[in-house]
Amino acid sequence: MEFRQLKTLVAISDFGTFAAAADAIGLTQSAVSLQIKGLEQEIGTKIFDRRHRPPLLNDKGRSLVEQARKVLELCDDITRQGADAPLEGVLAFGAVPTCVASILPAALAMIRARHPKLHIRVNSGLSAELAAATRSGELDAAIVSEPMRLSDGLISNRITREPLLVIAPPDVPGETDKELLEAAPFIQFSRRAWAGQFIDRCITDRGIEVKRDMEIDSLDAIARMVNFGLGVSVVPLPRTATSMLDGLKWLPFGDPPLHRSLVMIERQASPQSQLVEALTEVLRQVSSSQG
């Protein structure tokens, strides 16, 4: 049984649904469901009545919530006593390029100032590569685009969300995202990236007929191509990259507007969870301050 499972259980009790609890504690809904499923397996009994939608705590679940609150209060007391102790060790960490170029530098500087004996080795890569490396133990944790389904053995915590935008040269005709995308050659955000796959699926599902001309894995390169009038694209917009829109026509992609979430992934019961949690908290602080 893990501390985070109890924290998630109490959040569901406090906020009423899996979805609301996920938003409150910065997890994805699939991660919340996975934690509760794991908790039920460990204690050998169901704690939710799933005949209801959303599922409701049963008697055993309500009893467990009260016990969990006591455990969490005790853990909070212990944490407060050791809060000033600096962390140390080595953390093998990966991040998608957009994160490396946006919130990661400030986060690394902040955590180095707080924990000078903590050394973080950084590798950049695409989400699928980083997830595989985390699952195998080559990396302790990584920031990736939120996948449709998280691999077995991994857990995730949301760091931030980035809006998906249609970007186009200013002279491209169109008043809607669909009109812009069909009015000029399409520059595809690489489908080797999970965000690129999500964008491609949304375009297909909506029946948008794009004229694919290029497929590129760099947001900066895509923005420059669009700036030179070579086509239109759909891209996630990092908080620090709003200047990318200068001189361009842009619209939110989707109705309601779609986003891509950046999540921190790590192995379940990772021995490095304390270090990962510290980095996660700093990344969230930086993301909020840059918003």
How far apart are the C-alpha atoms of 110 and 100, rounded to whole Å?
15
pLDDT score for 291: 57
pLDDT score for 84: 54
Helices 104-114 and 273-290 sit at what angle, rounded to 10 degrees?
Answer: 130
Tell me the C-alpha to C-alpha distance, in Å, between residue 172 and each of 207, 210, 245, 248: 20, 14, 15, 10
pLDDT score for 72: 84
At the second CATH level, the architecture of 3-81 is Orthogonal Bundle (1.10)
Degrees to nearest 5, angle at CA 103 with 22 and 95: 75
Digits of tens for pLDDT over the chain (291 positions)?
787 899 899 999 998 899 989 888 888 888 899 999 999 999 999 999 998 888 899 999 999 999 998 888 887 766 655 555 678 899 999 999 989 988 999 999 999 998 999 999 999 999 999 999 999 999 999 999 988 778 888 999 999 989 999 999 999 999 999 999 999 999 999 999 999 999 999 999 999 999 998 999 888 899 999 999 999 999 998 876 778 889 999 999 999 999 999 999 999 888 999 999 999 999 998 988 765
**What one-character-per-residue DSSP string does 201-243 give?**
HHHHHTT---EEEEEES-HHHHHHHHHTTS-BEEEE--GGGGG
pLDDT score for 242: 78
Amino acid (1-letter code) at residue 197: Q
Segments of the chain assigned to CATH 3.40.190.10? 88-159+261-290, 162-260
pLDDT score for 196: 94
pLDDT score for 12: 93
pLDDT score for 80: 59
Strand partners, 123: 94
Strand partners, 144: 263
CATH number of 88-159+261-290: 3.40.190.10
Segments of the chain assigned to CATH 1.10.10.10? 3-81
What torsion do the CA atoms of 260, 143, 122, 5 make, to the nearest 10 degrees?
170
pLDDT score for 36: 93
pTM above the 0.75 mark?
A: no
pLDDT score for 87: 86
Q: Which fold has domain 162-260?
A: D-Maltodextrin-Binding Protein; domain 2 (3.40.190)
